[in-house]
Structure 1
Amino acid sequence: MFLDGVTYASIARNLALGRGRFWAPHYTDTIYPAFHEHPPLAFWLQSLWFRAFGDHWFVERAYSATAAALIVLFIVVTWRAVHAVPDARNQDWLPVALWMAAPVVSWAIVGNLLETTVAVFVTGAVAVLTLGQGQPATEFSAFAKASADRRRFSGGWSSCPRRPPWWHRDYSGALPARPDSLPVLVACGCLSGLCVVGATLAKGPVGLFPLAAPLILALLPERRWRSTWCGAAAQWTAVLLCGALLYAGGESRESLSRYLHEQVVSALAGRREMSAGPLTMVGALVEGVWLPMALVSGMLVVMARRWTTPPSRGRSVAAAFTLLGLCGTLPILVSPKQTGHYLMPAVPFYAIGAAAFVSPTAADVLNRLRAGRSAVALRVLAATVAVAAGVAAALPAFEREPARMGELDRLATVAPRGATVGICPSTNGDWGLHAWFQRRFQMSLDAADPVSHEWFLQAGEPACTPATCRAASDPSARLMLLRCDR
């Protein structure tokens, strides 16, 4: 697990234990006793899991795995909402596979990063918008008309031995009414706006980009401008009302103001961590998102033994969702602080766009597999990969720092849980040390006044160890706890 993920899990656990408040989460007694580096919603949501299951190593991983499952659900819902023909709708596995192909996805999920929670909210925001605007009318009508003509001129579907199994479920009569009535549009727009607010309260302004979704989805050929403007107005109104309520609340306004000043403004001014270059995000997008998706698409072309050009509507879906993904990526370029996992919330939309472009070729692959026994092998392989991914997300991240994890295990029997422990000033910059001692033992490390505490942690530098302290753990270990006379 990444350092950030360990920190976030500690904050969530502390909230579950009653240490800190929603608008003032608590990290340690010596570092960020009131944590305003990020908005608090993701910490609070994860704290509910700690309240339910207790302080165990699997809690943050179960939370992240559940968030990943919700992202998959929203990807599938969105894919099915923008496709009417069953052959296309039944390929909802394709955008999920392309989403999983991006390494940044597994990094964020396994690492317990805030971007995973943001991705849940932004994909949910777009999913409810597409549901509110109903099934694509043009493609649906054309397909139903062709089916009706076939039924009329061929003696009816009931006499056809190859009647599709989905016919009676989806197309057994007249066209169903589109669910784009005004109440549905307004309700879905408001719910989408609440999801945007949730994304913003999880990681800040990077969660606002689904506000562009109503206008971008209007580029699809069958979308109605009435649906577009009703959905957009409801979504934007919900966001503005929530913003006004947050500003009116004294504690929420103070907390978010501190976050904007200490994190956002400082990052834009270059006073926070700096990335390798101003185009770090572009390189991460090409190498970490588009290239893996292109490789998967290339594998499908090889398996199909040909490239099938997508129809015009498929190209429109690909362009719209790629543009939506860029809305979640390009604004980050204005900040000197860039890193690859910031891409995570936009990856689902890149995956949907890429899937729409390669969907006909994937259909050819499935048709070839259905002709033989390869379909069974493919299902077994897919199930194996899914199970392996779930197990990997649930396992503790001991492999990242095995030496440090071993040292912490050896200290577990003597570590004073919840205590403040002195450390040498030269060790204070080891943020991983602070994070892991807080996560494992709820301990705070103090370098400002180390001799005033009953316990002292020696991390390889005995020169500053107080003379009144004696070893309470293995003296030969790199990390040694000492108990001091007071």
Structure 2
Amino acid sequence: MTRTINTLWGLLAAALAIRLGLSALLPLADTTEPRYAEIARIMAETGDWITPWFDHGVPFWGKPPLSFWAQALSFKLFGVSEFAGRLPSWLANVLTVALVFAMRFHLHANTDRQQATVSGLWAALIYATTALGFLSGGTIMTDSYLALGTTLTLASLLIRLRGGSDWWGWGFFIGLVIGLLAKGPLVLVLTGVPVFCWAVITRQWRNLWRCLPWLSGTALTLLLVLPWYLLAELKTPGFLDYFIVGEHFKRFIISGWQGDLYGNAHEFTRGTIWLYLAVASFPWGLIAVTGWGIRRWRSTPVPARAASDGTTMLLTVSALTPAIFFTFSGNILWTYTLPSLPFIAVLAAGVISQTAGYRWQRASYACALLIPLAASSGAGWLAIHPEQLKTERDLVARASALPELSPDQLHYLGEAPFSARFYSQGLVQSLSPDELQSRLADAQLPPPALVAVSNNDKAWLDRLRKTATVLDQNRRYTLFHLSDGKPAAITAKSITIGSAVTISRPGATTGATSDGT
């Protein structure tokens, strides 16, 4: 048993360490990561901790501020870099892993402690090495914080039902606070449905009332959440209407919702969320179903207390609620299944840890490394071939390295990508085709020094190639130097980009470098 525990600890530590290392390896690729990173960077720069800003002067009403607070604080502490932006999500993921362990451990609290530890470690390892669980563990997005909030709320109830201390009762409401400040009222649905179904089916309303501090907990939740919502509406009127009505009703009901101010709605066939759940839980979903089939075939009984207090049912409904809820929505992303994975992991661990001796269980050790090793291989290849990513990191660094030029002289024809804005610290500018036409045709107007043109815009590419110098090109844009139609003086130079990536590119003969942020 001790050997098994040591093996599981080692695999879990390795998975978390690999994910942390990958957070520093790759640049931010459009659209989600650099968009949220730039919002957090602006928050850190301006010191405005109430309103997240989509751009200077444009409020971001799409999400509450918790993830931006965490990232902005990380930027303040560690500097603006990919690693600093991703670190808070990794920490949120570590906390979720710990909660998954605690849930599974408390399900065995009155049995052998070593067996409880093994079962808890299996649950933690399964969650940490699912496809989406591993990916989200170091990605700049809000879903990691929502998953932490829903997991803390439901885990606190489960652990209280299993005799956990009164502090877990407060954890139920702290989880709601995290969810409300990370994603909004959605957390009330994802946690309220499982709790309600459990109470109805098991008829334990009285027990539910007794085990949680409902009055003081609700007051604490309101005290911690309402001030920001009210301040946000007062500062930028219209926030509540857009966020509550638009993001939580119209986005859910209307496929291809056209009211999205910050992106495009995602229209999919109803029920696609179940396919996403299968992919997100890979490879453990398949293993769990196989193990469940083996247990049923061998008629392995469910532990008596788990059956009597309904905790297995609570876990099952918690695992399925996100998929059931989003079955009726066509506007979805696969990350919406993340709140399901902690509870799937707890259920799967019960199957694996109680099926000792079967060969497929031993193969599970190898499965635990499948996603981390595959992700490492893919990330390593992309680190060597960053041009395959939709990122403007290198192009911005190339422009910044030119003598007597700076990122604020770099113009993108059309809307500047978020990665360009992030890596230039918000200095790059957008330029409409009409404005560029005017500045090139009017001798009184200075032409932009540097222009990045989409590789799909053949007309402008052909025109500028005749009068300007091509300085760089990536998978999406070609960078032109327009000033007087003369190329800049360029010699070899080493440019440090991002948090830990150094590449050798042409540049100025002396001095300044660009860190890409």
Structures share fold, TM-score greater than 0.5: yes
Residue 6 of structure 1, aligned match among 9, 28, 34: 34
Preserved CA contact (<8 Å) 2:30 2:391: no
1:166 is matched with: none
Residue 274 of structure 1, aligned match among 260, 266, 277: 266
Distance 1:212 1:420, change over 3 A: farther
**Amino acid corresponding to residue 422 of structure 1 in structure 2:** H
- Superimposed CA distance per residue, residues 121-161 of structure 1 (whole angstroms, 9 cap, x where no aligned partner): 222223333444453xxxxxxxxxxxxxxxxxxxxxxxxxx
Distance 1:245 1:211, change over 3 A: farther
Residue 285 of structure 2, aligned match among 283, 293, 300: 293
**Amino acid corresponding to residue 322 of structure 1 in structure 2:** T
SS in 1 for 2:244: helix
SS in 2 for 1:456: strand
Distance 1:126 1:92, change over 3 A: same
Pairing of 1:165-244 with structure 2 (within 5 A): 179=165, 184=166, 188-208=168-188, 209-212=190-193, 214-215=195-196, 225-226=206-207, 228-231=209-212, 233-234=214-215, 235-242=217-224, 244=226
Cα distance in 2 between the residues matched to 1:133 and 1:302: 29
Number of residue pairs the alignment of both structures matches? 420
1:480 is matched with: 479
Cα distance in 2 between the residues matched to 1:476 and 1:42: 30
Kindly state the Cα deviation for residue 76 of structure 1 after the two structures are TM-superposed: 0.9
Pairing of 1:336-347 with structure 2 (within 5 A): 336-347=330-341
Distance 1:411 1:48, change over 3 A: closer
SS in 1 for 2:399: coil
SS in 1 for 2:101: helix
SS in 2 for 1:24: coil
**Amino acid corresponding to residue 192 of structure 1 in structure 2:** F
Preserved CA contact (<8 Å) 2:398 2:472: no
Cα distance in 2 between the residues matched to 1:292 and 1:237: 39
CA RMSD of aligned residues (A): 4.3
Q: Which moved more, 1:349-358 or 1:71-80?
A: 349-358
Is structure 2 residue 67 aligned with structure 1 residue 42?
Answer: yes
Distance 1:118 1:399, change over 3 A: farther
Pairing of 1:312-323 with structure 2 (within 5 A): 312-314=304-306, 316-323=310-317
Distance 1:15 1:472, change over 3 A: farther
Preserved CA contact (<8 Å) 1:58 1:395: no
2:511 is matched with: none
Distance 1:44 1:62, change over 3 A: same
2:419 is matched with: 436
Residue 333 of structure 1, aligned match among 312, 319, 327: 327
Pairing of 1:20-419 with structure 2 (within 5 A): 21-29=48-56, 33-84=58-109, 85=111, 86=113, 87-100=115-128, 102-135=130-163, 179=165, 184=166, 188-208=168-188, 209-212=190-193, 214-215=195-196, 225-226=206-207, 228-231=209-212, 233-234=214-215, 235-242=217-224, 244-246=226-228, 248-249=230-231, 250-251=234-235, 254-267=238-251, 268-270=253-255, 271-272=257-258, 273-289=265-281, 292-296=284-288, 298=290, 308-314=300-306, 316-361=310-355, 363-364=356-357, 388=373, 398=383, 402-403=387-388, 408-409=393-394, 411-415=396-400, 419=408
**Amino acid corresponding to residue 437 of structure 1 in structure 2:** A
SS in 2 for 1:37: coil
Kindly state the Cα deviation for residue 321 of structure 1 after the two structures are TM-superposed: 0.6
Cα distance in 1 between the residues matched to 2:385 and 2:328: 32
Q: Which moved more, 1:290-299 or 1:340-349?
A: 290-299
SS in 2 for 1:94: helix
Distance 1:39 1:407, change over 3 A: closer
TM-score (norm 1): 0.70
Q: Which moved more, 1:346-355 or 1:40-49?
A: 346-355
Cα distance in 2 between the residues matched to 1:280 and 1:476: 34
TM-score (norm 2): 0.67
Preserved CA contact (<8 Å) 2:277 2:337: yes
Preserved CA contact (<8 Å) 2:92 2:148: yes
Kindly state the Cα deviation for residue 264 of structure 1 after the two structures are TM-superposed: 3.2
Cα distance in 1 between the residues matched to 2:409 and 2:170: 46
1:138 is matched with: none
- Superimposed CA distance per residue, residues 192-240 of structure 1 (whole angstroms, 9 cap, x where no aligned partner): 2232122122122332222455555658989793454451724444444
> Runs of 5+ in structure 2 lacking a partner?
1-28, 259-264, 440-446, 485-517
- Superimposed CA distance per residue, residues 6-40 of structure 1 (whole angstroms, 9 cap, x where no aligned partner): 2112222222222x7233223445xx832222222
**Amino acid corresponding to residue 61 of structure 2 in structure 1:** H
- Superimposed CA distance per residue, residues 263-304 of structure 1 (whole angstroms, 9 cap, x where no aligned partner): 33441333241322111112322454387423255369889x
**Amino acid corresponding to residue 387 of structure 2 in structure 1:** P
> Runs of 5+ in structure 1 lacking a partner?
136-177
Preserved CA contact (<8 Å) 2:387 2:474: no
Cα distance in 2 between the residues matched to 1:100 and 1:246: 32
Cα distance in 1 between the residues matched to 2:266 and 2:448: 36
**Amino acid corresponding to residue 471 of structure 2 in structure 1:** S
Distance 1:332 1:387, change over 3 A: closer
SS in 2 for 1:457: strand
Preserved CA contact (<8 Å) 1:424 1:464: no
